[in-house]
Amino acid sequence: PRTIFSGIQPTGIPHLGNYLGALSNWVKLQNENPQDKLIFSIVGWHALTLPQNPTELAASRRDMLAVLLAVGLDPKRCVLFHQDSNAMHTELAWILSCITPTGKLRRMTSWKSRLAQSRNANDESEVDESMLNAGLLTYPVLQAADILLYRATHVPVGEDQRQHLELSRDIADSFNRTFRASSRMFPLPTALITPSKRILSLKDPASKMSKSASDPASRILLTDTANQIAAKVRAAVTDSITTGVTYDPVLRPGTSSLLSILAACADEEVDAVASRCTGMSHGELKTEVAAAVDALIAGPRAEFERIRGEVGYLDQVARKGAEAAKELSAQTMVQVRQRVGLN
Ligand code: TYM
């Protein structure tokens, strides 16, 4: 049987990329495979790698749990918990960081793009990493610890997490070899890349839809109303190199991105959607996309507004989740400590 683990940062209301690239797939896994063990975490410690307003972080942390329930995850079926309520994540992360070469961390594209950003911000041509916090560099080790603590075999994520997953496999393998025993400590986790793996920014189809982009019109939030969705989609970047609508991610990235979103909402192949839309104008395409997105999120949006106020229930789910997570990970840590000689 598979053990499935995944995580999401509590940095505000999730956007359509998080929903299509991760959350909707978690729900699908829950509903399709009753024999799998499912563990989903809200990763508060990862959020601290960027500056956070503590009051907002506390609110986002609770809201994210409400979102997980609103999209249809069932706390009876899955372990739903806050990473920061189980300190074994940081304990394992420390141990793993001591067998992980810094060179591997410097090769992560997430690290390289942070470096590039700080270089642009400071207008310096020399790469200077001395001002970036150490957490940004070691973040993927904490992610590996999240996964390995539960000896997860499968990790559903979007395309942007593929490299981190490969590193987690490397770290698992390196622990297994360094601390050899009669049985292998960690299974090598496999990435389950979501079919709609990369949802793009509405304003810049060269980059992914992200929580941290400065323009709020570049992303659709799970709480956006039908009118807000329509306005953002109407303002999305498209092109007019030929009339009508065609799927061509290289020459027509904006138009193609809208077709991908439509396909993901309808759970259809993008080619099928593209051929159905050939005769449309961009205006017609956008009307259809906005309606499809609204139909997709209407249920979770209403459910979120309802659950977010049930503070007592949310606290209870979080408490139970933390207990279950600690019980599972304690078994791993007894063996890890033994193998490294710190039992
Ligand atoms: P995070 O919080 O940035 O994103 C959560 C999930 O959403 C996916 N995603 C996207 N998918 C498609 N298109 C997009 N534009 C898009 N933006 C985000 C991400 O791939 C991810 O699956 N480091 C992770 C959190 C994490 C984690 C883990 C994940 C911590 N520990 C262990 C898996 C296993 C992160 O920052 O995800």
269-293 pLDDT, tens digit each: 999 999 999 989 999 999 999 999 9
Domain-located, residue 213: no
Q: Is 14 in the pocket of ligand 1 (CB under 6 A)?
A: no
Instruction: Give the per-residue pLDDT at 127.
Output: 59
Instruction: Give the per-residue pLDDT at 123.
Output: 66
CB 29 within 8 Å of CB 64:
no
CB 15 within 8 Å of CB 211:
yes
Do 102 and 132 belong to one domain?
A: yes
Do 143 and 21 belong to one domain?
A: yes
CB 31 within 8 Å of CB 4:
no
Cα 153 from Cα 184, distance rounded (Å): 13
The H-assigned helical ranges of the chain are 16-18, 24-32, 44-47, 54-70, 88-97, 102-106, 109-122, 134-148, 162-178, 226-234, 253-266, 270-277, 282-307, 311-340
Do 44 and 174 belong to one domain?
A: yes
Instruction: Give the per-residue pLDDT at 296.
Output: 96
Do 265 and 166 belong to one domain?
A: no
DSSP label of 19:
I
Point out which residues pair with 39 in neighbouring strands.
Answer: 5, 79
Average model confidence (pLDDT) across the chain: 94
* Ligand 1 center from residue 328 Cα (angstroms): 23
Residue 126 — very low, low, confident or very high, per pLDDT cuts 50/70/90? low
DSSP label of 50:
S
Mutate to test the pocket of ligand 1, among 25, 38, 43, 186 (most ligand atoms within 8 A of CB): 43
Instruction: Give the per-residue pLDDT at 198.
Output: 86
Domain-located, residue 238: yes
Domain-located, residue 285: yes
Unique residue bearing structure tokens 């839809």: 209
Q: Is 22 in the pocket of ligand 1 (CB under 6 A)?
A: yes
**pTM to 2 decimal places:** 0.93
* Ligand 1 center from residue 161 Cα (angstroms): 6
Instruction: Give the per-residue pLDDT at 161.
Output: 95
Do 136 and 256 belong to one domain?
A: no
Domain that holds residue 239: 223-305
Nearest residue to 309 via CA among 13, 12, 56, 66: 66
Mutate to test the pocket of ligand 1, among 3, 8, 141 (most ligand atoms within 8 A of CB): 8
Domain-located, residue 207: no
* Ligand 1 center from residue 192 Cα (angstroms): 12
Q: Which residues of 289-326 are buried (b: 16+ CB within 10 A; e: fewer)?
A: bbbbbbebbeebbebbeebbeeeeebeebbeebbebbe
**Chain centroid offset of residue 321 CA:** 19
Instruction: Give the per-residue pLDDT at 8.
Output: 97
Do 37 and 154 belong to one domain?
A: yes
Q: Is 209 in the pocket of ligand 1 (CB under 6 A)?
A: yes
Q: How many domains is the chain built from?
A: 2
Q: What percent of the chain has pLDDT over 70?
A: 97
What is the SS3 assignment for 62?
helix
Q: Is 44 in the pocket of ligand 1 (CB under 6 A)?
A: no
Pick the more confident residue, 192 or 125.
192
Do 295 and 332 belong to one domain?
A: no
Instruction: Give the per-residue pLDDT at 320.
Output: 98
Nearest residue to 219 via CA among 227, 228, 229, 209: 209
Domain-located, residue 271: yes
Instruction: Give the per-residue pLDDT at 241.
Output: 75
CATH code for the domain in which residue 243 is found: 1.10.240.10
- Per-residue pLDDT of 92-115, as tens digits, reads 999 999 999 999 999 999 999 888
Q: Tell the residue nearest (CA) to atom 23 of ligand 1.
A: 143
Do 260 and 131 belong to one domain?
A: no
Domain-located, residue 233: yes
Do 267 and 328 belong to one domain?
A: no
Do 195 and 100 belong to one domain?
A: yes
Do 72 and 145 belong to one domain?
A: yes
Mean pLDDT confidence for 115-119: 83
Mean pLDDT confidence for 125-135: 78
Domain-located, residue 144: yes
Do 44 and 193 belong to one domain?
A: yes
Q: Tell the residue nearest (CA) to atom 1 of ligand 1.
A: 8
Domain-located, residue 38: yes
Q: What percent of the chain has pLDDT over 90?
A: 86
* Ligand 1 center from residue 125 Cα (angstroms): 30
Confidence check on the interface: ipTM exceeds 0.90, yes or no: yes
Instruction: Give the per-residue pLDDT at 124.
Output: 61
Cα 322 from Cα 213, distance rounded (Å): 32
What is the SS3 assignment for 245?
coil
